[in-house]
Amino acid sequence: MREWEFGRTVRRWRDRVAPEAAGVPVGRRRRASGLRREELAALAGISADYLTRLEQGRATAPSAQVVESLARALRVSGTERDLLHRLAGHATPGPDVVPSRITPSVQRLLDRLSHTPVVVHDATWTLVLANAPYNALMGDTTAWKGLERNAVWRNVTRLPSRVVLTSREQEEHEARLVADLRLTASRYPADLALRRLVADLTAGSPRFTELWDAGTAPAQAGPSRRKTVDHPAAGLVTLDCDTLVVTHDDLRITVYTAEPGTEDADRLALAVVLGTQSLQH
């Protein structure tokens, strides 16, 4: 059965990943040579229960996004990534599909930022990766499913967010996201998942439909933007928010930092420490 073979492959590849290579701390009492199930689940941004069901062949039809996340967390080669997609029943992602793969070189960059809040989106603004400091700062993203993982949807439907914006700033942010999505749609006209996303956004949000039909070009934002985050324990934290675009892979890497020695830097450090502790328990 295909589901069983997919799960068996994930289990086998999990056992061969050295925790150090994945940035997982290794304690003295550790017996497993590879990744524990809970560790892989955290790296892939899915629940440990869902990963258990996948490995046991009890969960069917994992989405392409989940497969991509597992392939990234398992540090697989391009050939193995394609195999994992085939075992899940998906066609191998081609050039006419919005890419969501994090290449080994980009992963090495992200590993260097393991103590800094970082979030990665694909060209549709669908969440690809949020590291532990980001989840600590912004709130846990690991339980998000479907449209919840799309930043356009989260903004036009005004889902809860810790980012503090005025009404005008929120509207401008929504307009930028929708305009950027229009450009993505023009680059990937054959991507069926992107078409479904636009259809779902149109059906579910009058605000999205208004902005989409307006056809406004994306505003030219500066290279760095400031954001204020209202953290439940650390309070208001104002940070530099820089989005770096990986051109060939069409990814958006957003990094949150504070000027060293400032109150914001102290509050950011507190938010990360408190949040990562709570996520581990």
Specify whether 141 is located in the same domain as 241.
Answer: yes
- Count up the domains in the chain and report the number: 2
CA 91 – CA 262 distance, rounded (Å) = 49
Specify whether 59 is located in the same domain as 139.
Answer: no
User: Are residues 123 and 278 in contact, defined by beta-carbon separation less than 8 angstroms?
Assistant: no
User: Which of 87, 120, 147 lies at the terminal end of a domain, its last residue?
Assistant: 87
CA 213 – CA 173 distance, rounded (Å) = 17
pLDDT over 80 (residue 238): yes
Comparing 137 with 86, the larger pLDDT belongs to: 137
Specify whether 144 is located in the same domain as 210.
Answer: yes
Domain of 71: which CATH number?
1.10.260.40
Specify whether 237 is located in the same domain as 122.
Answer: yes
Q: What is the mean pLDDT of residues 112-119?
A: 94
Domain of 117: which CATH number?
3.30.450.180
Confidence of residue 23 (pLDDT cuts 50, 70, 90): low
pLDDT over 70 (residue 93): no
Output DSSP code: residue 29: T
Confidence of residue 62 (pLDDT cuts 50, 70, 90): confident
User: Which of 26, 57, 87 lies at the terminal end of a domain, its last residue?
Assistant: 87
Specify whether 150 is located in the same domain as 251.
Answer: yes
User: Are residues 182 and 163 in contact, defined by beta-carbon separation less than 8 angstroms?
Assistant: no
Amino acid identity, residue 209? T
Segment 214-231, tens digit of pLDDT? 987 666 554 468 999 999
Specify the 3-state DSSP secondary structure of 19.
helix
Tokens of 247: 């051109």
Specify whether 159 is located in the same domain as 256.
Answer: yes
Specify whether 188 is located in the same domain as 219.
Answer: yes
Cβ burial, residue 135 (10 Å; 0-12/13-18/19+) = buried
User: Which of 53, 87, 121 lies at the terminal end of a domain, its last residue?
Assistant: 87
Q: Is residue 171 part of a domain?
A: yes
pLDDT over 80 (residue 86): yes
Q: Is residue 23 part of a domain?
A: yes
Predicted pLDDT of residue 225: 86
CA 52 – CA 54 distance, rounded (Å) = 5
CA 117 – CA 134 distance, rounded (Å) = 4
Highest mean pLDDT among 54-63, 104-113, 197-206: 197-206
Q: Is residue 169 part of a domain?
A: yes
Which of 79-83, 94-98, 176-180 is the least confident region? Answer: 94-98
From residue 136, give the alpha-carbon distance in Å to each of 57, 116, 131.
32, 10, 9
Predicted pLDDT of residue 190: 83
Confidence of residue 201 (pLDDT cuts 50, 70, 90): very high
User: Are residues 21 and 49 in contact, defined by beta-carbon separation less than 8 angstroms?
Assistant: no
Predicted pLDDT of residue 279: 54
Closest Cα partner for 280 from 133, 66, 108, 128?
A: 133
Global pTM value: 0.74
Specify whether 192 is located in the same domain as 61.
Answer: no
Q: What is the mean pLDDT of residues 74-100?
A: 82
Comparing 276 with 149, the larger pLDDT belongs to: 149
Specify whether 212 is located in the same domain as 112.
Answer: yes
Specify whether 126 is located in the same domain as 57.
Answer: no
Predicted pLDDT of residue 112: 92
Q: What is the mean pLDDT of residues 228-253?
A: 95
Q: Is residue 139 part of a domain?
A: yes
pLDDT over 90 (residue 171): yes
Predicted pLDDT of residue 118: 97
Q: Is residue 236 part of a domain?
A: yes
Confidence of residue 134 (pLDDT cuts 50, 70, 90): very high
44 is in which domain, residue-wise?
2-87
CA 62 – CA 54 distance, rounded (Å) = 8
pLDDT over 90 (residue 152): yes
CA 156 – CA 170 distance, rounded (Å) = 9
Q: Is residue 15 part of a domain?
A: yes
Count of CB atoms situated within 10 Å of the CB of 32: 12
pLDDT over 90 (residue 212): yes
Where does residue 30 fall: left (phi above 0), alpha (psi -120 to 50 degrees), or beta otherwise? beta
Specify whether 109 is located in the same domain as 245.
Answer: yes
Specify whether 141 is located in the same domain as 269.
Answer: yes
Q: Is residue 259 part of a domain?
A: yes
- Helix and strand numbers, DSSP H then E, in the chain: 12, 6
Q: Is residue 269 part of a domain?
A: yes
CA 55 – CA 33 distance, rounded (Å) = 18
Q: What is the mean pLDDT of the chain?
A: 88
Specify the 3-state DSSP secondary structure of 109.
helix
Comparing 24 with 55, the larger pLDDT belongs to: 55
